Amino acid sequence: MRYLPQTKKGRSEMLEAIDVSSVDALYSDVPKSAFVKGKVNLPDHMGELEVERMLGAYANENHAAPDGPFFLGAGTYYHHVPASVDHIIQRSEFLTAYTPYQPEIAQGTLQAIYEFQTMVAQVTGQDVANSSLYDGATAMAEAALMAMRVTRRKKVVLGNKTHPHYEDVLKSYFENFRGEATIEGPQDIDDQTACVIIQSPDFYGSPENYQIWREKCDAVGALLVVVTNEILSLGLLPAPEEADIVCGEAQSIGLPMSFGGPHLGFFACREKYIRQMPGRLCGETVDASGRRGFVLTLNTREQHIRREKATSNICTNQGLCALAFTVHMALLGEDGFKHLAKLNHEKACELSDTLENAGFKVENETFFNEFVVELPKNSNEIVSTLAEKGIIAGLALEDNKLLVSATEMTAQEDIQTFCETLKEVCA
Amino acid sequence: MSNLAYNDNMDHMMSDAENFEDGNRGLHYEENLLWEKGHSDTPGVDLPSLKGTKSRTGQSERKNVGLPQVSEPQVMRHFVRLSTKNYSIDSGFFPLGSCTMKHNPRLNEKMARLKGFASIHPMQPTQTVQGALKVMYDLQNWLAELTGLPAVCLTPAAGAHGELAGIMTIRKAHEVQGNTHKDVILVPDSAHGTNPATAVMCGFKTRTISTKETGRVSVEAFKEALYKQDPEGKDVAGMMVTNPNTCGLFERDIQEITDLLHDAGGYFYCDGANFNALVGKIRPGDFGVDVMHINLHKTFSTPHGGGGPGSGPICVAPSLQDYMPSPVVLKEGTAYRLEEEGERETSCGRLRGFQGQFGMHVRALSYMMSHGADGLKQVSEDAVLNANYILSQLKDDYHAPFEGPCMHECLFTDKYQKEYDVTTLDIAKTLIEYGMHPMTVYFPLVVSGAMLVEPTETESKDALDRFISVMKMIAKKARSGDVTELHNYPKSTPRHRLDEVKAAREPKLRWKKGA
């Protein structure tokens, strides 16, 4: 009961002040049948030590990335997080603050969001960015919905291979339209297309040429949406300046993999569309003394003002994750961000060379830090066999293929061990 | 438009050292933007050297990004200084209604950072993540027991996302059952804005139930809404009701309302934002709820983080279990696994990449285990007691629009103060001046000038008494008629009242060189 400061004395004084005999008298509106008899059927309270022991044992049952060679990516990447990042996001003033509704006492959060928005806009080559969304998959779905609002059309084209989870989320959201909105392939681009969505690098790791897609979109008046789930790739690949919306996943900067969440959806677009954007936005203004300050703004798009006419039902962002990104990006800086991106690419080149030297065929002609390798056997079984040997090999795809990724965390020895063991189990 | 410290006054400072003024005083710091700090030669990280491998991206290399570049000490100082401009639950009383700003135990943070939780990938082979799946499975069971709703899906990323999950579950159920004529969701006028926004996102029309008279959904008002278009309510797919509601009241006719809704073939979606009043004591499944979301960041203390990440699992009655989103965690023998894509054919599908805000699942479970069945019951009782104490002490000074007792939050308005030209906004800003975070203001919309006060159970009587004293002092100042001060607060904060109209009229959403 260490989290409860009330005392017996305090409780009884308060009951007296309220003029009731017991706490239960305060629940007089609740139907009798809804009360739990006694207590719920769960264990009683535990001390900190007991909780640590129990959850610690759970954690130890998992194979963590630092425990062995690790090559899995597919939308979540194993990167280094500088110690300062975790320190900053654990400061009480950031960790235990609310959404900055009272700007006079939330300038810290607000300025950090403004810096986040600026960084995302710069990295994506767009005019403006929002304060973040839940994750890459929901960001892509929100981009499709926004394109439909802008164009007043209801067809969305997936131009290339996007992450299967992203595609599934889009499908789930689209079921709400009861058949009125459709998802189509690149052969179906026409004058009813709201947007063409291109993932780059695509799910198999190959970077896209945006110019071709821009032309296709311009021919029919559709928006071009570029999705990336490895934001670090934008430190090496050209900015998707051709796009109308750039969104995706930014977990790679500042956040652990954490079994898939919390991650960091980002969303940037052209200035002319800001009033159609989903999510929270922070803007610059002045205070009553004329000094620069920041506030949440353009709220008239949002659910708490517009209710059923809102652009989206979203009311939070991934605040602390966006802060982690901002701190990590501040540490990386212009040179560090590009350097880290190149380092990832070099590691992937090294992995590709070593695999090819070991006799495996790499499918990609081009890649950033992830690519597909062909195996002579069922890749699901191989992933499972390697896991038993302490190696997290990658993502098994259909047709004996394996999606592998390398980052700055990948040591030369890891690559050697992986390729040798892979050769053994494939023999 | 300029930052006092770093633009205008810099020049001034250089020319006139005697009148030095850059905005820094004592522990008050002015802090410019990262881009305004000048460009350091080296970044705040040291990375291994590059080998100069020939690029295989098939594309030209990225040109200038425009990012700032500063050293590690500068980064640390920048963000620590920014942090000093924030108010937080760790530093003081934070009675933000419907937001449940309670203490965030650091044990939860420590647990979520264990290597075996933080450094695992969501698509690792199942046999390598049994412990993580066990956390999710246990959390599903805890939530099922606490809500009385046996099926739980943890994937929704926040409260509003949980609402989306819940209403999509209802949509799918009606679709599978051939109830395509059911296209209306009933929503009380006191509901959170996310409720109607969610219903519309799911392709429903909303119909409003008026609660203006008593702050509650009356059986008469409910019947009027339910039977508005059809004598049997056949067009109604469901209702979204927050219970306790946003006026801080328990819907005392909920059983009768739910029976009428169920008779018409509708489902009851309960917004779980206010679960802190009930946890461990009352189970929503036992008053007729079919599906509800739980804000792990409210009731179960995962931190709000300045606006996320949240986590909004949904708990579902058996009748809707087949339709809820996927994946959920299953147990077979002693082994745990995630549901496969399409395994539950009638599921409304995937709502997010991977399996949810897992780091928040760990934190919530750590919190629940710490409190246990006995502690959680005490949580709700103390939360309700604290709110009623505030109500009892302030109802003579502030207008309490609806008859109590309240649940875990109490509602006031500025009716009495308006007579003296003092509004809810002034009261909120004065609380800031006196070192407290204001309550939720101007919500719910059913009363004018609402002030919704949620103290939570993690405040002592002393903390409540201090809040009560400040509120009484404000009421007294208003009555005195000398209210100029109240219109101009806060004065001791890093910034005074900010011009929100200007921000919206001339949107400036990013820093730009020379702008």
pLDDT digits (tens, 9 = 90+) for B9-37: 444 445 566 788 888 989 999 999 999 99
Picking from A20, A257, A293, the nearest residue to B498 by CB comes out as A293
Two tokens at B479? 């009555």
Asked if the C-beta of A118 comes within 8 angstroms of chain B's C-beta atoms, the answer is yes
CB B183 within 8 A of CB B237: yes
Q: What is the pLDDT of residue B514?
A: 83
* Residue extent(s) of CATH 3.40.640.10 domains in chain B: 108-369
Which fold would CATH assign to domain A66-82+334-426?
Aspartate Aminotransferase, domain 1 (3.90.1150)
Give the distance from residue A227's alpha carbon to the nearest chain B alpha carbon, in angstroms: 14
Asked if the C-beta of A194 comes within 8 angstroms of chain B's C-beta atoms, the answer is no
CB distance B83–A284 less than 8 Å? no
- Taking contacts as CB-CB distances below 8 angstroms, the residues of chain B near A385 are none
For an interface test with A, the pick among B75, B93, B358 (most A C-beta atoms closer than 10 Å) comes out as B75
Q: What is the pLDDT of residue A282?
A: 97
Q: What is the pLDDT of residue B16?
A: 61
Two tokens at B372? 């246990």
Q: Is the pLDDT of residue B5 over 60?
A: no
Asked if the C-beta of A5 comes within 8 angstroms of chain B's C-beta atoms, the answer is yes
CB distance A48–B107 less than 8 Å? yes
Q: List A residues 254-313 in contact with B (Cβ-Cβ < 8 A).
A: 256-263, 274, 280-295, 297-300, 302-310, 312-313
Give the distance from residue B212's alpha carbon to the nearest chain A alpha carbon, in angstroms: 18
Chain centre to alpha carbon of residue B472: 28
* Residue extent(s) of CATH 3.90.1150.10 domains in chain B: 372-501
CB distance B193–A365 less than 8 Å? no
CB distance A95–B376 less than 8 Å? no
CA distance B152 to B141: 8
Chain centre to alpha carbon of residue A77: 11
Q: Which residues contact A110 (CB under 8 A, 6 or more apart)?
A: A100, A103, A282, A293, A294, A295, A296
CB distance A86–B113 less than 8 Å? yes
- Taking contacts as CB-CB distances below 8 angstroms, the residues of chain B near A117 are 509-510
pLDDT digits (tens, 9 = 90+) for B53-79: 999 999 999 999 999 999 999 999 999
Query: Residue B272 has what DSSP assignment?
Result: G
CB distance A115–B34 less than 8 Å? yes
Nearest Cα neighbor of B78 from B38, B39, B46, B33 is B33
Nearest Cα neighbor of A319 from B158, B85, B439, B358 is B158
CA distance A211 to A222: 14
Please classify residue A38 by burial: count the beta carbons closer than 10 Å to its beta carbon, then call 0-12 exposed, 13-18 middle and 19+ buried. Answer: exposed
CA distance B164 to B143: 19
Picking from B33, B47, B310, the nearest residue to A115 by CB comes out as B33
Q: Is the pLDDT of residue B481 over 70?
A: yes
CA distance B272 to B166: 11
SS (H, E, C) A221-275: CCEEEEEECCHHHHHCCCCCCCCCEEEEECCCCCCCCHHHCCCCEEEEECHHHHH
Mean pLDDT (whole number) for B216-220: 95
Q: Is the pLDDT of residue B6 over 60?
A: no
CA distance A346 to B57: 11
**Which stretches of B42-103 are DSSP H helices?**
72-83
Please classify residue A398 by burial: count the beta carbons closer than 10 Å to its beta carbon, then call 0-12 exposed, 13-18 middle and 19+ buried. Answer: exposed
Q: Is the pLDDT of residue B4 over 70?
A: no
Q: Which residues contact B237 (CB under 8 A, 6 or more apart)?
A: B170, B171, B174, B179, B182, B183, B184, B185, B204, B266, B267
CATH tag, A85-326: 3.40.640.10
For domain B108-369, which CATH number applies: 3.40.640.10, 3.40.50.1820, 3.40.50.300, 1.10.357.10?
3.40.640.10
CB B397 within 8 A of CB B416: yes
- Angle, helix B254-263 to helix B219-226, in steps of 10 degrees: 20
CA distance A426 to A403: 16
CA distance A415 to A427: 18
> Which chain A residue is nearest to residue B123, measuring alpha carbons?
A395
Torsion sign, CA atoms A37, A40, A43, A45: negative
Q: What is the pLDDT of residue A311?
A: 75
CA distance A95 to B309: 10
Q: What is the pLDDT of residue B17?
A: 67
| pTM exceeds 0.90 for this model | yes
Q: Is the pLDDT of residue B366 over 90?
A: yes
CATH tag, B372-501: 3.90.1150.10
Look up residue B389 and give its amino acid: Y
CA distance B421 to B400: 18
* Residue extent(s) of CATH 3.90.1150.10 domains in chain A: 66-82+334-426
> Which chain A residue is nearest to residue B206, measuring alpha carbons?
A308
Q: Which residues contact B407 (CB under 8 A, 6 or more apart)?
A: A26, A27, B244, B248, B249, B250, B274, B277, B384, B387
- Taking contacts as CB-CB distances below 8 angstroms, the residues of chain A near B276 are none
CA distance A189 to A152: 16
Two tokens at A90? 């654990």
Q: What is the pLDDT of residue B132?
A: 98
CB B384 within 8 A of CB A20: no
Nearest Cα neighbor of B29 from B495, B510, B496 is B495
Picking from B79, B200, B437, the nearest residue to A102 by CB comes out as B437
Q: Which residues contact A236 (CB under 8 A, 6 or more apart)?
A: A338, A341, A342, A344, A345, A368, B55, B57, B61, B62
CA distance B139 to B158: 16
Which residues are registered as beta bridge partners of B338? B329
Length of chain A (residues): 427
CB A23 within 8 A of CB A15: yes
pLDDT tens track, chain A, 427 positions: 899 999 999 999 999 999 999 999 999 999 998 999 999 999 999 999 999 999 999 999 999 999 999 999 999 999 999 999 999 999 999 999 999 999 999 999 999 999 999 999 999 999 999 999 999 999 999 999 999 999 999 999 999 999 999 999 999 999 998 889 999 999 999 999 999 999 999 999 999 999 999 999 999 999 999 999 999 999 999 999 999 999 999 999 999 999 999 999 999 999 999 999 999 999 999 999 999 999 999 987 777 777 777 777 777 789 999 999 999 999 999 999 999 999 999 999 999 999 999 999 999 999 999 999 999 999 999 999 999 999 999 999 999 999 999 999 999 999 999 999 999 999 8
Give the distance from residue B243's alpha carbon to the nearest chain A alpha carbon, in angstroms: 10
- Angle, helix B358-394 to helix B130-147, in steps of 10 degrees: 30
* Residue extent(s) of CATH 3.40.640.10 domains in chain A: 85-326
Look up residue B345 and give its amino acid: E
Helix (H) or strand (E) holding A346: helix A319-357
Picking from A165, A342, A384, the nearest residue to B125 by CB comes out as A384
CB atoms within 10 A of CB A41: 9
Two tokens at B186? 């009933």
CB distance A43–B373 less than 8 Å? yes
Asked if the C-beta of A179 comes within 8 angstroms of chain B's C-beta atoms, the answer is no
Q: What is the pLDDT of residue B9?
A: 43
Two tokens at A319? 């605040």
Two tokens at B450? 């609402």
Mean pLDDT (whole number) for B407-411: 98
Query: Residue B205 has what DSSP assignment?
Result: E
CB distance B307–A100 less than 8 Å? yes
User: If DSSP codes are grouped into helix, strand and coil, which group holds residue A120?
Assistant: helix
